Amino acid sequence: MIGILALLDGSAILGLKRSFSLSLHMLANAMCLYALYMLYVNLAIPITDITAYHQTFLLSFVGLVFFVLGVIANDIPKRRAE
């Protein structure tokens, strides 16, 4: 799973201009990995409680939001020293 995330984010991570963007990308990747782990655990044992799947969805959605914020923060041009 980490290999897939490295392939998907590899081009974005190599072209990052700010370390803040890198931290947002890493946080988003960690959240997505943990959400996938939670989904695996929920599906391995038959759980009919909707809150378990709701938490997994929210965690993956927040990870996606952090990834998009990292891309936006990376695309903002740096200030030039005058």
Position 32 in a domain: yes
* Residue 51 pLDDT greater than 80, yes or no: yes
CA gap 53, 38 in Å, rounded: 8
Q: Distance between CA atoms of 80 and 15, rounded to whole angstroms?
A: 19
Structural domain range at position 27: 2-75
Give the pTM: 0.70
* Structure token pair of residue 67: 């990834």
| 80 is a domain residue | no
Q: What is the four-CA torsion angle of 37, 43, 45, 49, rounded to 10 degrees?
A: 100
Average pLDDT, the chain: 77
Please count the structural domains in the chain: 1
pLDDT at 35 over 60: yes
The answer to whether residue 46 sits within a structural domain is yes
